[in-house]
Structure 1
Amino acid sequence: MSKLMIAAGIVLVLDTFLISAVSNMNLGVVMPALLGIPLLITGLFYDRAAVWFETGAGAVVKWALIAGYSIFLLTFVFTAVLIGSASSKKPGEADAVVVLGAGLRGRRVSYTLARRLDAAIDYALQYPGIPVVVTGSRGPGELLSEAEAMKNYLVSKGFPEERIIIEDRAKSTSENFRFSKLILDKLLEKPYRTAYVTTDFHLFRAGLVAKEEGLTAFGIGAETKWYLLPNNCLREYVAIWMYFLTGKIGFMLP
């Protein structure tokens, strides 16, 4: 058992160090280390820990760890199934496209955001004439708004500039949809359907937020790098439950 705990702890801590070298630091990157350190420490000092866990405060800590890891595993598997179910749905026909921002590198879109924009181009070119709203404000360390950089990327790929609408105030997923809806309500005849474009692991939460903001919408998912998927799912796991517990999204089952 001690060897298994040490191995699991090393893998989880190593994951954090390796992924932090190729991705922005976020909770999804840090969480494997947070999960792995208790396992690693317990495994390294297994004999002493086994004795301590049998009495007093040690017994409380032992059962708290067992309960914590059990609850995490159950809720994570449940959440991962929901995330996967959203990624597997086929897009239909929409009256407008909303592309959610995802960070810049100075003036240039990040890899993740570029994949979202590529997916938006592939979809929007199938339906000539529908508007494409690019949404996102200017964040720390960014030299222009995400929306402006997104427009520049689309134009550089040959997408018609006249079809692009900039929404540059939004600082969160909720605001992405809220402010985009204000634009589309003035532009389109109701009722209308919106296709929102985001990264595949983010589709489920984004769909719930869109519903809360009053949009009739479906998602189009851009693929993420396979080695980032576990960490991104961990990040989404935390975000989904935080949104649910704070009332930002409603009941999570369809």
Structure 2
Amino acid sequence: MKVLLEIIALIVVDFLLVLTLELSFSAIFMIIVLWLVYGIVIVRRLAYSYKKKWLCILSKIYMWGIAIFVGSFILIEGFLVYNIGHHQSVESLEEVDYMIVLGAGLRGEDVSPTLKARLDQAIAYYNLHPKTMIIVSGGQGPDEVISEAEAMRKYLEEMGILRESIIKEDRSTTTLENIAFSKEILMTREETVESVLIITHDYHLFRAQMLAYFMGLESIGLSAESSLLGRINYLIREYPTMIIDFFRVNVNY
């Protein structure tokens, strides 16, 4: 009976997660985490009931694995939340020669609201520092009619930014490629680049700057603000992506 009540409680929590976050990656991820943590209870009960040595060893390995997993999740999410709380404003940023605006999906040939928010931050910075070159970074996805970089360029020009101030990077499909391909452009234009400005959303900036750091590119960050629900959703998604990108950048770069 006790086990049944526990399972029902978990199913109710799962339902609330889907209701809040919809059937998103973050909701699915949190549901899996809940059941993995509940697995500790199951393996401990099995080990206690059957008193088999191999079951005791298995339960300890499982518990340590979950403890490391949960601990790393809390640590990474803590870094991300701390970073969000210490983002700088446009006015407080120093002048740099280049900024990199990371792509974020399109609506037809137009920028999405998410991408517009990033570009508006770039425009605000450019208005204060009109000598800064803008690298718009984003390739063409399978469901997109033009590259994100092209749509970004069009939007910036419509908002009064000079075409000669805009550089397109239209090959990238991931954050890691955003930074890597943008760095390639920088290296063809400059012998050395002291620092660049990276513009993306608040939940995404830490990972973008981490990748830039491991690629030997010093950066400062400027973020567009996300909604509370969107921030929670994407912060959860950042956990596995951070780990994957950390290993990818250290292996490939």
TM-score higher than 0.5 here?
yes
Q: Partner of 1:168 in structure 2?
A: 170
Does residue 80 of structure 1 match 2:81?
Answer: no
Give the whole-Å Cα distance in 2 for the aligned partners of 1:158 and 1:34: 47
Tell me the equivalent position of 1:184.
186
2:197 aligned residue (195, 198, 220): 195
Match of 1:116 among 115, 118, 128: 118
Are the aligned partners of 1:131 and 1:164 in contact in 2 as well (CA < 8 Å)? yes
Q: Structure 1 pair 140/61, CA: closer, same or farther in 2 (3 Å)?
A: farther
SS of residue in 2 equivalent to 1:220: strand
- Match for 1:134 among 124, 133, 136? 136
Indicate the SS of the match to 1:84.
Answer: helix
> Aligned equivalents of 1:215 and 1:191: distance in 2?
8
For residue 165 of structure 1, give the secondary structure of its aligned residue in structure 2: strand
Residue by residue, what CA displacement relative to the aligned partner does 1:153-202 show, whole Å, maximum 9, x if unpaired?
22333333332111111122222122222322343463432101111111
SS of residue matched to 1:201:
coil
Cα distance, 1:13–1:158 mapped onto 2, change above 3 Å: farther
Q: Verify the 8 A CA contact 1:100 1:198 in the aligned structure 2.
A: yes
- The SS at the match of 2:130 is coil
Letter in 1 for 2:79: L
Partner AA of 1:79 in structure 2:
I
CA distance in 2 between counterparts of 1:65 and 1:143 reads 47
Question: Could you tell me which residue of structure 1 aligns to residue 229 of structure 2?
Answer: 227
Pick the aligned partner of 2:30 from 21, 29, 32.
32
2:215, 2:249 within 8 Å by CA — same for their partners in 1? no
Higher helix share: 2
Structure 1: runs of 5+ lacking an equivalent: none
User: What does the per-residue CA deviation read over 1:33-68, in whole Å, with 9 as the maximum and x for residues that have no partner?
Assistant: 22234578x8xxx9x998646335876776566444
Q: Which residue of 2 aligns with 1:206?
A: 208
**Are 1:105 and 2:88 matched, yes or no?**
no
For structure 2, the 5+ residue unaligned runs are none
Matched residue count? 240
1:135–1:180 contact (8 Å) kept in structure 2: yes
* Aligned 8 A contact 2:176 2:245 in 1: no
Alignment correspondent of 1:237: 239
Once residues 37 and 8 of structure 2 are traced to their aligned partners in structure 1, the CA distance between those partners, rounded to angstroms, is 6
Is contact 2:135-2:169 (8 Å) kept? yes
Which range moved further: 129-138 or 84-93? 84-93
Closer/same/farther in 2, CA of residues 225 and 4 from structure 1, 3 Å limit? farther
Residues 77-133 of structure 1: CA distance to partner in whole angstroms, max 9, x if unpaired?
111222234331434332111001122233222232222112222222210121101
CA RMSD, Structure 1 to Structure 2 (Å): 3.1
Distance 1:203 1:141, change over 3 A: same
Percentage identity across paired residues of the two chains = 32
| Partner SS state of residue 222, structure 2 | strand
Change (3 A) 1:151 1:11: farther
Rounded Cα–Cα distance in structure 2 between residues aligned with 1:69 and 1:9: 20
